[in-house]
Amino acid sequence: MSAPDSNLPRRVVLLGATGSIGESTLRVIERHPDHLELVGIAAHSNHPAIIEIANRHPTVRHVALFDGGAAKEARSSNGLPNGVHVSTGMAGLVELAMLAEADIVLCAVVGVTGLEPSLAAIRAGKDLALASKEILVMAGKFVMAEAEEHGVALRPVDSEHNAVQQCLANHPTSDIARVVLTASGGAFRDRPLAELANVTPAEAMQHPNWSMGPKITVDSATMANKGLELIEARWLFDLQADQCDALLHRGSLAHCIVEFTDGAMLTHLCPPSMTFPIQHALLAPLRLPPADDPLKLTESFALDFEPLDRERFPLLDLARDAMRTGGTAPAAYNAANEIAVAAFLAEQISFPRIAAIVEQTLARLDHFDPTDLSAVITQDAEARRVATALLAGN
């Protein structure tokens, strides 16, 4: 990891600039103009937002829009400042991730699309701030091996993992007994189980604490998000499956509990705003004023923790089983979940069917230890095919 204070401002490429994490990242960058500079931005197709961001940040010289039509619109609209280069497709994302003038790439593209650009950033020796947890779930073995080979430290953006990293400080993995991630419980934490079959996507979007993109908000309601995060933690902190667990914590003020081998437990507190972990990921070890107000210690607040209801949240144990099985099982879990969540959001299936589709996909596939990345990519495609067939009732 390069020393940030010897190289300021840190020049940032932001993949997923128009999303929820993208928006919080822009607030952090705008809070610290002497320390952070945006040099490249990418999105899928939201070209009006990309044009607006590029005009707000004249330091942006490179833009990527995955969708070819949107890239064409951005070029022909004359909205971009003069000289801004527009690229497209996966090649465009990869080009941005390797940008010579960038110090750090923040990947916040939803789903596994960010895998190739993240690997490109690592191979180019960039620091990688990672929000897209699906990448580590699918291909943690290969991403971590590449990071080690290229001497790149991954900087977790996910709030729980960022919290764990801050609690760990310089402790070796051998000092960790257990890492416990907290979960708010999502939109349906108190809904009678019998009603879950009838809940709507709009209701699933009503997260009690966090404002996030649609996919992760559904994942919070099913607890697949915490399942994905346990697998993410396993890779980031080199843990065994049984060292990773989760607890319900309704307030989302404490983001993890790290239990050390001597019984001591550390937690990390901050309000539920992604600007806190994003700022840490972009600037650590530098500590600067936050973009949002920190917790007010002059007001009372509760730190309550409860065991998670395994019956309400079957996707949590399915993730732990996939993690124990290892190999391609977590990739299949993630792929099936992406297909099922998209179907739920499109009102094609009921909420409880999400977990059923994931469970049945995992049961239908053979899981194996992949020897290369292409084997994982093939299994990801196979899991998507099986999950899609299950949606059609086959």
Position among 11, 12, 13, 22 found at the interface with ligand NDP (CB under 6 A): 22
119 is a contact residue toward ligand NDP (CB under 6 A): no
380 is a contact residue toward ligand NDP (CB under 6 A): no
232 is a contact residue toward Mg ion (CB under 5 A): no
Residue 333 contact among Mg ion, ligand NDP, none, beta carbon within 5 to 8 Å by kind: none
Distance CA 346, CA 164 (A): 35
Distance CA 196, CA 217 (A): 16
Q: Could you tell me the smallest distance in angstroms from the CB atom of residue 49 to ligand NDP?
A: 6
Residue 274 contact among ligand NDP, Mg ion, none, beta carbon within 5 to 8 Å by kind: ligand NDP
108 is a contact residue toward ligand NDP (CB under 6 A): yes
Token pair of 339, please? Answer: 């297909």
**Residue (of 66, 13, 21, 1) closest to 274 by Cα position:** 21
Query: End-to-end distance of the chain based on CA atoms, in angstroms?
Result: 49
Cβ closest to ligand NDP, residue 24 vs residue 267: 24
Residues 246-275 that bind ligand NDP (CB under 6 A): 274
Place of tokens 């349906």: 188
Determine which helix (DSSP H) or strand (DSSP E) holds 268, and give its type and residue range.
Answer: strand 265-269
Closest residue by beta carbon to Mg ion: 158
Q: How many residues bind Mg ion (CB under 5 A)?
A: 3
Closest residue by beta carbon to ligand NDP: 19
CB 51 within 8 A of CB 79: yes
Cβ closest to Mg ion, residue 37 vs residue 158: 158
Distance CA 72, CA 33 (A): 31
Position among 37, 146, 158, 219 found at the interface with Mg ion (CB under 5 A): 158
Residue 162 contact among ligand NDP, Mg ion, none, beta carbon within 5 to 8 Å by kind: none
Q: Could you tell me the smallest distance in angstroms from the CB atom of residue 229 to Mg ion?
A: 5
**Amino acid code (one letter) for 161:** H
Query: Which alpha helices (DSSP H) does the chain contain, by range?
Result: 20-31, 47-56, 68-76, 89-97, 115-123, 133-149, 159-168, 201-204, 214-222, 224-236, 275-283, 314-325, 329-345, 351-364, 373-391
Contacts of 12 (CB under 8 A, 6+ apart): 25, 29, 36, 37, 38, 39, 40, 102, 103, 104, 105, 106, 282
Residues 215-234 that bind ligand NDP (CB under 6 A): 216
Cβ closest to Mg ion, residue 159 vs residue 165: 159
Q: Could you tell me the smallest distance in angstroms from the CB atom of residue 110 to Mg ion?
A: 14
110 is a contact residue toward ligand NDP (CB under 6 A): yes
Q: Could you tell me the smallest distance in angstroms from the CB atom of residue 15 to ligand NDP?
A: 6
